[in-house]
Amino acid sequence: MNLSEIAWGDDSAEKDPFLLEYFVDSAAFSRLRTKTKSMVIGRKGSGKSALRKKLEQEFAADPNSFVVNLSPKYNSIRSVLNDQELVTKYGEEIFFQHTWLRQILLDLLCRIGDATKGKYAADSMEFARQISVQQNRTAKDLVENIADILSKVRVKAGSLGELGIQVERELRNIADVESLEHHLLKLAEGGAKFIVLADDLDLGWDNSRTANNMLLGLLAAASYLSGRSSNIHIVTFLREDVYSLLVTQTQHADKYRNVERIRWEKNDLVKVLNRRIAFNLQKKSIAVSENPFGVVFPETIGTSNTDNWLIERTLSRPRELIQLARYYTESVSGAAPDDKALKESEDNYSSWKLDDLCAEYSNQYPGLIQIFSHWKTKFFRHKYHLSGAEIRDMLFQVMSDVTVNEDWFNKIVTDADIEGLLRVFYEIGFIGDFVLGGEGGSKTFYSYSERHEPKFDEVQVHPCFRRAVNTVERIRNRREEASGEAV
């Protein structure tokens, strides 16, 4: 098989028809399958949607379970956030909590009601079947449900605050929560199991107060419903950076601590590649060896084992690893592993990863792309291992030279907050905190890997970004630095 023929799968789990055939099991999946966790937290590309898709398959295998995927569309979220009247008068957490409650209750009743079509039904089951019929005729998404509730609130008050201390009771009545919840609980008491998997919640999210209240409202609704019955289980999937922002903005953060943080070890990441290679070989009717990895990748690249070299150039997320593998195999002509092609593919991958990083943090830190564009030219052929004084001096130059007309950066510049910018670079994973010595030897800590309080006595630019920002490939020794020799 020519390596260029390998299909690594779609970047989006939802669009990959073969995802479940090469899904890699994990301890995280085992815990989620037993319903011991209610939130899944992970950075972009860490596999949240893949987990959701596998969980859907797992739960749906139980004939008494009724699974709903709650994945708001981008345009739906943007429509809500662009409604200025809603934003200024009604965009509070409690308002969104009740819109989400209504959405979830309707979706679950519709799901079980649809399953009873053509069968005898009475009481709450008949109610659910009628809901299903109504929804099929006039299916309403999140925006339409919000619009319905909003129009009814307007009749009672000009703003949410005018509802006074009765605001929660009024919203429950307006959203018809009492009736919907009553029938769902009756069905749950009868043995029906309801599962909601809420994913893609960052689509359209812009880190505004209203956007954050919308997500906090969902978390509150999920927590409330899950507490009403052991047969109602809601799992929310959130980007880790979004979750971190949300828990600082609510008084109920303690309710949202039972999270499953997605972390990948080297062996499991290599397994991701092995499964996909084996899948491709089987499709070509080629025998699969015990080491599929060795069929595609060279054993070493330079002085490093290839598996280590690959993992070091990711932020420990499957999507990055797959993308690097894709760049490599698409550049190879023939069936033999090619260490030169793998090394050369790093250029395209590193540029892609830097763009991906800027996109990932475009809401929290807009304008990163301008900062890194300046970095590439200002610090061309600069070393990637830097002392604390060197990195601080470089960031001072960035603050002096770069114009990014965004609140977060303007505040850093106004306050001359070099440490703040340093922490931003650490938080997003661009640099790591290098710690010298100790029993375990020297080590570079990155924000995505483990809990660590950085001191920034020395730092390193992460390997996956070094090519993109034009660093040198190795650390110069003191003699070379003193003489100014090229490396």
Domain ranges of the chain: 38-257, 266-360, 368-483
Residues 6+ apart with CB under 8 A from 172: 98, 178
Asked if residue 44 has pLDDT above 50, the reply is yes
**Stretch 461-479: mean pLDDT:** 79
d(CA 209, CA 245) in angstroms, rounded, equals 11
pLDDT in tens, 176-198: 999 999 999 999 999 999 999 99
Strand order in the sheet with 65-70: 65-70, 193-198, 232-239, 39-42, 259-261
Residue with tokens 């110069």: 476
Among the residue ranges 84-88, 332-336, 351-355, 458-462, the one predicted with the least confidence is: 84-88
pLDDT in tens, 372-396: 999 999 999 999 999 999 999 999 9
Q: Which token pair is 380?
A: 């061309």
Say what the pLDDT of residue 231 is.
Answer: 97
Q: If pLDDT is split at 50, 70 and 90, which confidence band does 472 have?
A: confident
d(CA 353, CA 45) in angstroms, rounded, equals 11
The amino acid sitting at 324 is L
Asked if residue 48 has pLDDT above 50, the reply is yes
The amino acid sitting at 224 is Y
**Stretch 96-110: mean pLDDT:** 94
Say what the pLDDT of residue 118 is.
Answer: 63
Q: HEC states along 67-88?
A: EEEECCCHHHHHHHHCCHHHHH
pLDDT in tens, 209-246: 999 999 999 999 999 999 999 999 999 999 999 999 99
Say what the pLDDT of residue 8 is.
Answer: 96
Q: Contact 150/90 with Cβ under 8 angstroms?
A: yes
d(CA 115, CA 133) in angstroms, rounded, equals 11
Q: If pLDDT is split at 50, 70 and 90, which confidence band does 145 have?
A: confident
CA-based nearest residue to 394, from 436, 446, 357, 431: 431
Question: How deeply is 137 buried, as exposed, middle or buried, from its count of CB atoms within 10 A (0-12, 13-18, 19+)?
Answer: exposed
Q: Contact 66/140 with Cβ under 8 angstroms?
A: no
Q: If pLDDT is split at 50, 70 and 90, which confidence band does 153 have?
A: confident
Mean pLDDT of the chain: 90
Say what the pLDDT of residue 120 is.
Answer: 60
pLDDT in tens, 273-288: 999 999 999 999 999 9
Asked if residue 307 has pLDDT above 60, the reply is yes
Say what the pLDDT of residue 481 is.
Answer: 43
267-294 as b/e: b if 16+ CB within 10 A: ebbbbbbbbbbbbbbeeeeeeeeeebbe
pLDDT in tens, 15-24: 899 999 999 9
Say what the pLDDT of residue 463 is.
Answer: 96
**Stretch 93-122: mean pLDDT:** 87
Q: Contact 466/347 with Cβ under 8 angstroms?
A: no
Question: How deeply is 441 buried, as exposed, middle or buried, from its count of CB atoms within 10 A (0-12, 13-18, 19+)?
Answer: exposed
Asked if residue 13 has pLDDT above 70, the reply is yes
Q: If pLDDT is split at 50, 70 and 90, which confidence band does 10 have?
A: confident
Say what the pLDDT of residue 393 is.
Answer: 97
Beta strands in 160-217 (DSSP E): 193-198
Asked if residue 445 has pLDDT above 50, the reply is yes
Asked if residue 486 has pLDDT above 50, the reply is no
pTM of this prediction? 0.88
Structural element, H or E, at residue 459: strand 458-461
Say what the pLDDT of residue 483 is.
Answer: 37
Q: Contact 50/23 with Cβ under 8 angstroms?
A: yes
**432 strand-pairing partners:** 460
d(CA 431, CA 444) in angstroms, rounded, equals 9
Say what the pLDDT of residue 438 is.
Answer: 61
CA-based nearest residue to 365, from 316, 315, 421: 421
Among the residues of 232-297, which ranges form H helices?
A: 240-247, 266-283, 292-296
Percent over 90 (pLDDT), the chain: 72
For 418, phi and psi rounded to 5 degrees?
A: -60, -40
